Amino acid sequence: MQRIGFLLKVKQEKIEEYKAHHKSVWPEMLDALTRTGWHNYSLFMRPDGLLFGYFEAEESFAASLAGMAAEEVNERWQAFMAPYFEGMGTTHADEMMVELEEVFHLD
């Protein structure tokens, strides 16, 4: 397993709506995440919309992203969520994720 951290920015005026959608993520999206090796996936948000994501990848960040890119439901979810993020243009959030370097871990 590889631990992955990433940052994204949710638009200030969309924060509450974004949170509401994540209280009921589509079951087929959850299945796809599990199937493509995303484990212990969590999202944390500051009041200003800065979002920190964490998950444990079976193989690697690149393999997890590639697995989701092949899932039809991911295309629909990314298109649905795109308006919630800053600086996206026509890019989906999963294409904007930049892997953060792990500098410390304590079990």
Active site residues: 22
Task: Kindly give, in sequence order, each residue whose CB lies less than 8 Å from that of residue 46, ignoring residues fewer than 6 positions away.
Answer: none
Task: Kindly give, in sequence order, each residue whose CB lies less than 8 Å from that of residue 52, ignoring residues fewer than 6 positions away.
Answer: 5, 6, 7, 43, 44, 45
